[in-house]
Structure 1
Amino acid sequence: MSLGVVALLAILLSVGANLWILGKTQSRIEHDLLACGTAPVGIVFGTSYWNRGGGRNPHFEARMLAASRVIGERRVKHLLLSGDNRTRSYNEPITMWRDLRGRKVRDEDMTLDYAGFSTFDTLVRSRDVFGVERAVLITQPWHLPRAMFIADALGLEVTGCAAPSEHVPGVWRLKAREWLARLATVGDLYVWKRQPYFLGPKEPLQIAPYPGVRPPRYETLDLPD
């Protein structure tokens, strides 16, 4: 009976956490790339280039497509590519950078964050290291609610831009894991007070002007002597 009560409580907590997170974020998620919100920065969350079973990861492809389209349409001015580079042989930010260069995204429009070991770390570092205050989050639609919920808790002003989502074998496992991750996120933010794995010195983003866009002109005032 005790195990049954614990299991029931766990289910109720999980359902409650998911409903809370989805209710706070769904209205700010845009599924049409050309209608995504505007912000100075687009934060692109890293994922593996390859599938475990071999072949290119369709979730990586979808995120890169969305990122290139969003900056190409000037929905954002700069892309923060944040991912895992825990070892020399695995480098998500570099892989994203190379892919986006192939899609004609300028080098000066991208900044690489090598310590985005998790969704939480990426968002804390975007605020505390790179000085981001307002951003468009770019990832799969099932990942966006948790990412946006964390961003809200950190005081970031965000909207979600959903990468194109197609039916992929095994995606139900990712969605099931995300369901549990939302419950863990509530604990991280409000119970255990999670801290990022690594911060480091501040590196404010340098947002380059776009060709053909004139910088603002400021009128000078003639003040009396």
Structure 2
Amino acid sequence: MRIRRVALALTTVAAIGLAPTAIVHALAWGHQAGSANAAPHRDVLLVLGAGVLPDGQPGAYLKARLDLAADLYASGKASVILVSGDNREANYNEPLAMQRYLVRHGVPAGRIVRDPAGFDTYDSCVRAKRIYGVSRLTLVTQGYHLPRAVATCRMVGVDTFGVGDHSAKAASPGQWRYGVVRELPAAWKTMYDVVSRRTPTLGQPDPSVQQALGS
């Protein structure tokens, strides 16, 4: 009897612990694809930031996201690319590195909008809506991160379809495994942010996306 109670308790704890992950996967179901060809056309493409190397170049994971974004743009799947990342310090600028990389790969600079305060997934999604006025977009990130990223944007009111990169797994499988494990506690943080309606760094609304779409 005691063993059954312990097993039931452990099962309950596990179910509670995995509940946020189950929620984000349910919300992202049917709103994501594994390749550029399967993505619908949406005017705005959101690329979430990742690590930038000391020389200012995108790291392997960020480069894979940007390559996918460039493919989507080249195939007519988007008109504007919103690059959202960390620029809290003068010597670390993810959005600028992202823009420069995309320009080198054929995306016109006038079709790229930099968001310098996308400090995490929730911030990027909220800012896309409240600062840049985007209500519908395609989101690009790594495959293991995609369900939570899509769910986050959808929960804050942005109609989102996601496209996941899986090529970076071969470049750094250890980092990929870490990312997969990290998604479990990250899902809890996402639920807290959404339920509490945490306000990220905002500032004044920026009409740059609409200007780029109209140019």
TM-score under structure 2 normalisation? Answer: 0.86
Q: Is the 8 A contact 2:139 2:161 kept in 1?
A: yes
> Which of 147, 151, 154 is equivalent to 2:153?
151
> Which of 37, 41, 51 is equivalent to 1:38?
41
Q: CA–CA distance in 1 between the matches of 2:63 and 2:25?
A: 25
Q: Is the 8 A contact 1:65 1:163 kept in 2?
A: no
Shift of 1:91: 0.4
Aligned residue pairs total 202
Q: CA–CA distance in 2 between the matches of 1:148 and 1:56?
A: 22
Alignment partner of 1:161: what SS? strand
Q: Is the 8 A contact 1:59 1:140 kept in 2?
A: yes
Higher normalized helix content (fraction of residues): 2
Alignment partner of 1:132: what SS? coil
What amino acid is aligned across from residue 198 of structure 2 in structure 1?
A: R
2:127 is the alignment partner of 1:122: no
Q: CA–CA distance in 2 between the matches of 1:11 and 1:136?
A: 33
Alignment partner of 2:53: what SS? coil
> Which of 189, 195, 199 is equivalent to 2:199?
195
Q: Is the 8 A contact 1:125 1:199 kept in 2?
A: yes
Cα deviations by residue, 1:86-138 (Å, 9 ceiling, x for unpaired) = 10111000000111111011011100000111111111111001000100001
What amino acid is aligned across from residue 30 of structure 2 in structure 1?
A: S
Q: Which residue of the partner structure matches residue 213 of structure 1?
A: none
Alignment partner of 2:30: what SS? helix
Shift of 1:18: 1.1
Alignment partner of 1:76: what SS? coil
Q: Which residue of the partner structure matches residue 219 of structure 1?
A: none
Write out aligned runs for 1:1-225 (5 A). Answer: 11-50=14-53, 57-165=59-167, 166-167=169-170, 168-170=172-174, 171-190=176-195, 192-196=196-200, 198-204=201-207, 205=209, 206-208=211-213
Shift of 1:74: 1.1
Q: CA–CA distance in 2 between the matches of 1:173 and 1:6?
A: 28
What amino acid is aligned across from residue 39 of structure 1 in structure 2?
A: R
Q: Is the 8 A contact 1:66 1:164 kept in 2?
A: no
Larger Rg: 1
Identical aligned residues as a percent: 28
Q: CA–CA distance in 2 between the matches of 1:209 and 1:193?
A: 31
Cα deviations by residue, 1:21-62 (Å, 9 ceiling, x for unpaired) = 1122132111121221211100000011339xxx96321121
Cα deviations by residue, 1:161-186 (Å, 9 ceiling, x for unpaired) = 11233332312111101121012211
Q: CA–CA distance in 2 between the matches of 1:126 and 1:22?
A: 21
What amino acid is aligned across from residue 180 of structure 2 in structure 1?
A: K
Q: Is the 8 A contact 1:13 1:183 kept in 2?
A: no
Q: CA–CA distance in 2 between the matches of 1:126 and 1:134?
A: 9
Q: Is the 8 A contact 1:37 1:161 kept in 2?
A: no
Shift of 1:75: 0.4
What amino acid is aligned across from residue 173 of structure 1 in structure 2?
A: Y
Could you tell me which runs of 5 or more consecutive residues in structure 2 were left unpaired when the two chains were aligned.
Answer: 1-6
Change (3 A) 1:44 1:128: same
Q: CA–CA distance in 2 between the matches of 1:91 and 1:142?
A: 24
